[in-house]
Structure 1
Amino acid sequence: MRRLPTSCAALLLAAASFCAGHAHAADAAPEAVFDWFHYEGSDPADAAHAPGPGQFRNPVIKGFYPDPSVVRVGADYYLVNSTFGWFPGIPVFHSRDLVHWTQVSNAIDRVDQLDFGKHDLVNGVFAPAITHHDGRFWIANTCFPNCGGNFVITATDPAGPWSDPVWLPDLAGGIDPSLFFDDDGRAWIVNNDLPAGGKERYTGHRAIWLQEFDPKAMRTTGPRTVILDGGIDIAEKPEYVEGPHLFKRDGWYYLTAAEGGTGEMHRQVILRSRTVTGPYAPWQDNPVLTQRDLPRERPFPITSAGHADLVQTQDGDWWAVFLGNRPYPPLEGHYVNTGRETFLMPVRWQDGWPRITAPGQVLPYVLDAPALPAGRAALPTSGAFEVRDEFDGPRLPPYWITVRNPRESWYRLKDGALHLQARGVLLGARDNPSFLARRQQHQDATATTAVRFVPQHDGDTAGLAAFQNEDYWYLLAVTRQDGTPVVVLDRRDGRDKGEAATGTRLASAPLPSTSAASPLQLRVRARGAKYDFAYAGDDGAWRTLARDVDGTLLSTAVAGGFTGAVFGVYAARQGEAR
């Protein structure tokens, strides 16, 4: 069992606004105290695909870590992912071997950098692209909708601090910007937007635009032109061309982008030109990466592969990072609770074109590692693993997240425990409740915690949530019901339009003989499509409150959106709920 070293400042949240604060002394709201949090997980594919010496296992970063972008600086590699409406946003990872990744920061870790508002969690920060130039790291990104548009942030150290956003108004309403620094000293930015004229010729009609970027003035300059309209063959009406990147090799400028949306029809295409402004011609053997030509009913499928970024190692080899989904049975439903994850594959050059997968090739779970010095990670991100948080450091580890921007200090770390103020913001509200979570990273996963909480009024609640968004979640919690403390399981199912923000009560039981000073243990266990909920009192005996509960509720197939499920701790005061 490995834990994040609390002494390693580079691995801790830098945001003062999000770090341990003090509960308001004048507020009489109850406080929930969580002594520790334990996560462990494995996947059925792990047992079926065991890596041998010199091999690695995909995905290299499990769980909700989509839209990867990667850059090499010397012998170091840095990778970023999308986080949408979760805060802090845009995790920044470091690796020496492209396989073992350690999170070193969150690029959006101050509430005054961006305001996610009260939009759905599928909105927020989209598809960051990272690069390095002139001693600085650059991230181009989008905050969507109505929270600023396209922007650039920079840092001299990827561990932060990252700058405030510099907005790029010329990029209009598009998404997925990516910077390219040419060897002649000029810089360019590409992004997805509506086609010329601003009108679709068909649903999902998008274009890739190019404009010069002035890195000293931090603004776009010159004309903005379309370099890819619709996709590599507009006659086929390709949908949602997005996630563009430019790179250069042997005098050719390559434009790579995703087509088909981020679902099962996802694919990666490649074009090239002798000049950066085009025209760009597609490879006749596109796509360079996809799984959409494979049958859904196959063992341990990896689907939706795309949104790739390429990187060249210091030895001249090329590799690609990209997103993919791992659905669990029943496969006809394409149920995915772990979200879109980060995968790694070698790039094979064929007649001057890069290929990641051949037609009909199944993405492997195990393959030979890059020819790089073996690396290490502070915490595992692939394969089966377990992580325990003792809450004994000055700040939370960087993988802990909350929904939207926190506007007040509602938690603190004290005496080796996490203290949550029970506020009047419910888990089902489009707001920022007292809720801290970490990602579900395996199909078979268990999250366990110990909570001390004395509800003062009926409805005061604290516990452990399995959460996909504010409309789809389960909550195993301590509450007071008709004046009596009980342990309950509540569910919110967004398909029930008449359901309240408090959800529906599925089960309840008398509280075990636990004194106010003693913790109550709570446990959620995921087994693919089934989830179990249990609790234990002073005697340590586990009691099942509900078994075989429908876990597909937490999948993107049911809950929608682009994110994955999380497990987290939560507290609320019902009397003043909103």
Structure 2
Amino acid sequence: MRTAGFALLSLLLAAPAAWAQQAVAFDWFEYVGKDAAFEQPLPPGHYRNPILAGFHPDPGIARAGDKYYLVNSTFGYFPGIPVFESDDLVHWRQIGSVIDRPSQLDFDGLQLSRGVFAPTISFHGGTFYVLNTAVDSGGNYIVTAKDPAGPWSEPVWLPTVGGIDTSLFFDDDGKAYLLNNDAPEGEPLYDGHRAIWLREFDLEKLQPAGEAKVVVNGGMDIAQKPIWIEGPHLYKRDGWYYLSCAEGGTGPQHSQVVARSRNVWGPYVPYEHNPILTQRDLPDDRAEPVTNAGHADLVEGRDGRWWAVFLASRNYGGTHYNTGRETYLLPVEWKDGWPTILEHGRAIPRVAPAPSWVQGAARQAPLSGNFAWRDEFDQPRLDRAWLRVRVPKTAWADLAARPGALTIHPLAENLDTLRNPSFLARRQQHLVFEASTALDVPARPGVAAGIAAFQNEAHWYFLGVRRTAGGKAQLFLEKSAGKPAETIATATLAAGKTLKLKIAGNEGAYSFGYDDGDGWRWLRQGEDGTILSTDVAGGFVGATLGPYARSEESE
């Protein structure tokens, strides 16, 4: 079968010669994380939270035999919806992506925080199912695969299912059910009034069957006007149906709640000690705060103990988090027939006892902890850590043109585009980090290339270099903070061919350096990094870093 990579390579081979002449080669890219919180010693038999550091929100989890599979939201990034595999819930490796072909979805014209929201993954009868909402780009759909590494099917659309946050539940009698968040029956009573709907699902037709019913209206106690009940999951244990949902929005008031019933259709009785997970009841001025906790999914471990994966954020300066919403792991404690993930008033532990069957030291790099990660671009395909902003229509990222280097064939798209810029993005996973690269200075005027720190199309930095008409190399730093980009620093370099560039972040301070052969120097230090935080930039993604090139030739 003709792969997406082969199709993109065919496009490259057909590219005009002028496009090839603008190409810029990047020799390597390195990322180093240095968070103080990750320096806490890790005792034997323990693991480190978050288990997936950096922008890995909305985790969904499934067990197949003795292996576990986890998916995350990627919104407008491509490939979309990474699939991770683990033997022990602690050590994860990405084995593929659900949305890895341009034919599946298209995000052109969308802001980055639209696209794929909150995927869920299930395994039943030898088939894996992922349900997802393509916001502003198609609605709810389902895809299937026999192998979770892929390939996944083309989307099967669910036109009668509105809202977001779809999930499947398989009952003991063979019936399947679909849950989702949507508007309530009638007019909403207040802003944020939503409902959880349930309906049967036909696994042969991959479509809903029968009437839908509201099983939660508003939240656990509608008299309190709870907002944004969402992320529903159904579980069955000891004859009880447990309906667990997120409530309170995705910010500091985020929480996880649960209700139960003896009948799949309800009525569902809320737990009197809800929420079963939150951080909203902790002091705002606590050290190294973890906030926004919620959107949990539960799974039974092979020792019979249950575990929860959920999202949360590591803040600095009270409200800022450039690393986005990350994936955490905690055990589920059952008491009197009810599950609890975290006791009220308790902070999420950064280091916790691992599942009983974890073997060896819980080394989690490059997904958690402090580490150095380097890509020499010497493999036949891009590392799975790399993302593109929206779906690429041309093969601008090329590993074949110059073996051992990444060649970018620059597009005319700036970083403020609502299409696909020629920017290769890697998640920022630490509050304190350095990201660096080495590249060839563009050989002729009309091309700018360098390294970018990117939050969304309106919030980013670009440290770049271009060749002037006189043959000199001009270094520059561009900044976009919710308004048209401006150049905030420039320098003229020697007319050398190669250049190293670096971005160093320390919470809300970002510095930009270069080495043109005389050692590292700073172009600008202490620039405002809070513009790359989710609370300032808005939306649901975290910051990313990577090589970028653009064509500046006029049409």
TM-score over 0.5 for the pair: yes
| Equivalent residue number for residue 573 of structure 1 | 551
| Equivalent residue number for residue 320 of structure 1 | 308
For residues 488-510 of structure 1, the C-alpha deviation after alignment (integer angstroms, 9 at most, x for no partner) is: 1111110x3xx2xxx21111111
| Equivalent residue number for residue 31 of structure 2 | 39
Alignment of 1:125-164 (within 5 A): 125-145=116-136, 147-164=137-154
How far the C-alpha of 1:457 sits from its partner, in A, is 2.7
> What are structure 2's unaligned runs of at least 5 residues?
none
For residues 444-466 of structure 1, the C-alpha deviation after alignment (integer angstroms, 9 at most, x for no partner) is: 011111111325335x2101000
Q: Which amino acid aligns with 1:536?
A: D
Alignment of 1:470-481 (within 5 A): 470-481=457-468
Alignment of 1:79-158 (within 5 A): 79-145=70-136, 147-158=137-148
Q: What is the rounded CA distance, in whole Å, between the counterparts of 2:509 and 2:99 in structure 1? A: 34
Residue 195 in 1 paired to residue 187 in 2?
Answer: no
- Name the CA shift for 1:67/1:16 in 2 (closer, same or farther; >3 Å): farther
| Equivalent residue number for residue 362 of structure 1 | 347
1:17–1:110 contact (8 Å) kept in structure 2: no
Match of 1:396 among 369, 382, 385: 382
- Name the CA shift for 1:59/1:402 in 2 (closer, same or farther; >3 Å): same
Aligned residues: 547
How far the C-alpha of 1:378 sits from its partner, in A, is 8.9
1:21–1:412 contact (8 Å) kept in structure 2: no
How far the C-alpha of 1:422 sits from its partner, in A, is 1.6
For residues 167-187 of structure 1, the C-alpha deviation after alignment (integer angstroms, 9 at most, x for no partner) is: 111102x00100111111000
1:455–1:485 contact (8 Å) kept in structure 2: no
RMSD (Å), alpha carbons: 1.7
| Equivalent residue number for residue 9 of structure 1 | none
- Name the CA shift for 1:19/1:226 in 2 (closer, same or farther; >3 Å): farther
Q: What is the rounded CA distance, in whole Å, between the counterparts of 1:169 and 1:278 in structure 2? A: 25
How far the C-alpha of 1:513 sits from its partner, in A, is 4.6
1:96–1:374 contact (8 Å) kept in structure 2: no
Q: What is the rounded CA distance, in whole Å, between the counterparts of 1:533 and 1:20 in structure 2? A: 37
Q: Which amino acid aligns with 2:338?
A: W
Match of 1:300 among 252, 275, 288: 288
Alignment of 1:11-50 (within 5 A): 15-17=5-7, 22=12, 24-28=15-19, 30-47=22-39, 49-50=40-41
Residue 411 in 1 paired to residue 400 in 2?
Answer: no
Match of 1:185 among 143, 155, 174: 174
Q: What is the rounded CA distance, in whole Å, between the counterparts of 1:14 and 1:255 in structure 2? A: 39
- Name the CA shift for 1:391/1:269 in 2 (closer, same or farther; >3 Å): same
Match of 1:165 among 150, 155, 159: 155
SS at match of 2:223: helix
1:16–1:110 contact (8 Å) kept in structure 2: no
How far the C-alpha of 1:16 sits from its partner, in A, is 4.3
1:38–1:389 contact (8 Å) kept in structure 2: yes
Q: What is the rounded CA distance, in whole Å, between the counterparts of 1:74 and 1:144 in structure 2? A: 32
Q: What is the rounded CA distance, in whole Å, between the counterparts of 1:182 and 1:573 in structure 2? A: 55
How far the C-alpha of 1:386 sits from its partner, in A, is 1.2
Residue 506 in 1 paired to residue 491 in 2?
Answer: no
Percent identity over the alignment is 51
| Equivalent residue number for residue 538 of structure 1 | 517
| Equivalent residue number for residue 8 of structure 1 | none
1:188–1:210 contact (8 Å) kept in structure 2: yes
Q: What is the rounded CA distance, in whole Å, between the counterparts of 1:294 and 1:558 in structure 2? A: 22
Residue 347 in 1 paired to residue 335 in 2?
Answer: no
Residue 52 in 1 paired to residue 43 in 2?
Answer: yes
| Equivalent residue number for residue 432 of structure 1 | 420
For residues 151-182 of structure 1, the C-alpha deviation after alignment (integer angstroms, 9 at most, x for no partner) is: 1111111111011111111102x001001111
How far the C-alpha of 1:380 sits from its partner, in A, is 2.4
How far the C-alpha of 1:485 sits from its partner, in A, is 2.2
Q: What is the rounded CA distance, in whole Å, between the counterparts of 1:254 and 1:398 in structure 2? A: 35
How far the C-alpha of 1:42 sits from its partner, in A, is 2.2
How far the C-alpha of 1:359 sits from its partner, in A, is 1.0
For residues 54-101 of structure 1, the C-alpha deviation after alignment (integer angstroms, 9 at most, x for no partner) is: 111100100000000111111101100000000110000011111111
| Equivalent residue number for residue 526 of structure 1 | 505
SS at match of 1:228: strand
Match of 2:213 among 207, 216, 225: 225
| Equivalent residue number for residue 487 of structure 1 | 475
For residues 377-399 of structure 1, the C-alpha deviation after alignment (integer angstroms, 9 at most, x for no partner) is: 89521110111111111110112
Q: What is the rounded CA distance, in whole Å, between the counterparts of 2:37 and 2:364 in structure 1? A: 24
| Equivalent residue number for residue 322 of structure 2 | 337
For residues 305-337 of structure 1, the C-alpha deviation after alignment (integer angstroms, 9 at most, x for no partner) is: 000000001110011000001011x22xx0000
Q: Which amino acid aligns with 2:298?
A: L
Q: What is the rounded CA distance, in whole Å, between the counterparts of 2:5 and 2:540 in structure 1? A: 25
| Equivalent residue number for residue 373 of structure 1 | 358
Q: What is the rounded CA distance, in whole Å, between the counterparts of 1:457 and 1:53 in structure 2? A: 56
| Equivalent residue number for residue 439 of structure 2 | 451
Q: What is the rounded CA distance, in whole Å, between the counterparts of 2:347 and 2:67 in structure 1? A: 29
TM-score, normalised via structure 1 length: 0.92
Match of 1:77 among 56, 68, 71: 68
How far the C-alpha of 1:295 sits from its partner, in A, is 1.1
How far the C-alpha of 1:480 sits from its partner, in A, is 3.5
Q: What is the rounded CA distance, in whole Å, between the counterparts of 1:395 and 1:433 in structure 2? A: 19
2:24–2:439 contact (8 Å) kept in structure 1: yes
Q: What is the rounded CA distance, in whole Å, between the counterparts of 1:75 and 1:486 in structure 2? A: 56
Q: Which amino acid aligns with 2:48?
A: R
| Equivalent residue number for residue 468 of structure 1 | 455
How far the C-alpha of 1:409 sits from its partner, in A, is 1.6
Q: Which amino acid aligns with 2:247?
A: E
- Name the CA shift for 1:17/1:324 in 2 (closer, same or farther; >3 Å): farther
1:21–1:411 contact (8 Å) kept in structure 2: no
Alignment of 1:202-213 (within 5 A): 202-213=190-201
Residue 247 in 1 paired to residue 235 in 2?
Answer: yes
Q: What is the rounded CA distance, in whole Å, between the counterparts of 2:334 and 2:364 in structure 1? A: 33
1:513–1:537 contact (8 Å) kept in structure 2: no
How far the C-alpha of 1:277 sits from its partner, in A, is 1.1
SS at match of 2:160: helix
